[in-house]
Amino acid sequence: MKKAKKMFAVVAATIMVLSMGMVSVNAAEVQPRLPLCPCGGTMVPSKSYTAWTTYDSKKCTHGYAYGTDQYKRRMVTTTMKCNRCENGYISSKEHEYKVECTGHN
């Protein structure tokens, strides 16, 4: 019985030591990197926004007797641009939405 306990302790310690070496990860190895440009620069994201436009209007839903809720949207364009040569490409276009309450008593 004593011999089995000692053997189990040795096996458990060996497994712990071996698993620690496999789990260790250097933080520098997992940091995200920006894509590189052919000129040697780094591609950096930049965003541009269009003006807010009203696409719908409804009676105020915030409890005011008069006024409307203005439903607005704008386009957000994300462009990847090189920090050296300024070459770039559009990586995404998305809409942002908001509601502006113009209600009053």
Mean pLDDT of 24-49: 76
CA angle (86 as vertex; 80, 88 as ends), nearest 5: 35
How far is the C-alpha of 72 from the C-alpha of 20, rounded, in Å? 54
Residues 57-70, mean pLDDT to the nearest whole number: 84
Q: What is the reported pLDDT for 32?
A: 60
pLDDT of residue 48: 94
Each residue of 31-40: pLDDT tens digit?
566 778 888 8
CB 10 within 8 A of CB 20: no
Sequence-ordered list of residues with C-beta below 8 angstroms from that of 92, at least 6 positions apart, any chain: 77, 78
- Answering whether pTM is above 0.85, one says no
Distance of CA 33 to the CA centre of its chain: 14
